[in-house]
Amino acid sequence: MLYWVLKWILIGPWLRVLWRPKVEGLEHVPATGPAILASNHVAFIDSVFLPLMVHRPIRFMAKSEYFTGKGLKGWLSRLFFTTIGCVPVDRAGGRAARAALDAGKQVLEEGKLWGMYPEGTRSPDGQLYRGKTGVARLALESGVPVIPCAMVNFHEIQPAGAKLPRLNKRVHMRIGAPLDFSRYAGMAGDRFVERSVTDEIMYNLMELSGQEYVDVYAAKVKKSDKPAHGEATADKPTPAHTAA
């Protein structure tokens, strides 16, 4: 109940007034049934505006530390992430990736929407980075469609390092047609197939968002603390039907 109160009464209306969200392709999100919503990740507000504009609740994975804090700050963090539909996952240790996939499978088996950021972390500079194959593994294991969701100008609204989003820009999102990977049924675990599926998803996100693509993991760029402009941008992700 608190989710809907925040969305339609307490917070949602203010967000709509201040940033006047423009969403293209909302009809691609099914009214019922499970689906994976795969989004580029350029700002914290991605996780706010995507659930705000989609008519159904979206569940996301969140690190378990957000749910275990102490005191008032810990309580507020737990309340916020629980309210927006996040599922706590322990990302420490070797089974972290499997735990995340299992959480997603459970949500999908319940007929709900599961949100994922294939890049694994926020873009450090507004470019689109190489996708991790977890989204492909989940799509192949569950057999559900993947819906690409592009945050078009979020890097301009909330650049890396900015605590608060700017008010002088209108939020713009594009949602693409569902991607069907049933042709790869039974091939989960094949790393070549999973890479091909992931690249098709990233190709669609690149086309929808208009971002420059960099064939490097965003986490690697963050660790090196070096800009990735011009690095491997010619190696764009290829749609799976031609790469396989």
pLDDT value at 95 more than 80: no
Cβ-contact 115, 87 below 8 angstroms? no
Tens of pLDDT, residues 21-33: 999 999 999 999 9
Host domain of residue 45: 2-243
**pLDDT at residue number 106:** 93
3-class state of residue 62 by DSSP: strand
Cβ-contact 105, 142 below 8 angstroms? yes
What is the C-alpha to C-alpha distance for residues 14 and 3, in angstroms, rounded to an integer?
A: 15
**pLDDT at residue number 93:** 52
What is the C-alpha to C-alpha distance for residues 4 and 85, in angstroms, rounded to an integer?
A: 11
Q: How confident is the model at residue 234 (pLDDT cuts 50, 70, 90)?
A: very low
Placement of tokens 């925040």 in the chain: 6
3-class state of residue 228 by DSSP: coil
pLDDT value at 84 more than 80: no
Tens of pLDDT, residues 179-219: 999 999 999 999 999 999 999 999 999 999 999 999 999 98
Q: How confident is the model at residue 243 (pLDDT cuts 50, 70, 90)?
A: very low
For the beta carbon of residue 223, count every other beta carbon within 10 angstroms: 9
Question: Across residues 108-135, what is the average pLDDT?
Answer: 94
Overall number of domains in the chain: 1
Cβ-contact 46, 154 below 8 angstroms? yes
For residue 144, the one-letter residue type is V
**pLDDT at residue number 242:** 42
Placement of tokens 């926020």 in the chain: 122
3-class state of residue 36 by DSSP: strand
Residue of higher predicted confidence among 148 and 2: 148
Placement of tokens 């991605």 in the chain: 46
Tens of pLDDT, residues 123-169: 999 999 999 999 999 999 999 999 999 999 999 999 888 888 998 89
Written as six digits, the tokens of 192 are 């070549």
**pLDDT at residue number 61:** 83
Give the CATH number, domain containing residue 224: 3.40.1130.10
Question: Across residues 40-59, what is the average pLDDT?
Answer: 91
pLDDT value at 92 more than 70: no
Instruction: Enumerate residues 6+ apart whose C-beta is below 8 A from 237.
Output: 130, 131, 198, 199, 200, 201, 202, 203, 206, 213, 215
When mean pLDDT is compared over 76-80, 96-100, 103-107, the highest value belongs to: 103-107
**pLDDT at residue number 19:** 95
What is the C-alpha to C-alpha distance for residues 27 and 175, in angstroms, rounded to an integer?
A: 8
Global pTM reads: 0.87
Q: Which residue stretches of the chain are H helix?
A: 2-5, 12-19, 46-53, 71-83, 96-109, 134-142, 154-157, 191-209, 218-224, 240-243
Tens of pLDDT, residues 52-82: 999 999 998 877 787 888 888 888 888 777 7
When mean pLDDT is compared over 57-61, 214-218, 223-227, 238-242, the highest value belongs to: 214-218
**pLDDT at residue number 85:** 73
3-class state of residue 64 by DSSP: helix
Q: What percent of the chain has pLDDT over 90?
A: 58
The helix-helix angle for 12-19 and 46-53 (nearest 10°) equals 100
Kind of pairing between the strands at 146-151 and 172-175: antiparallel
Written as six digits, the tokens of 58 are 């979206």
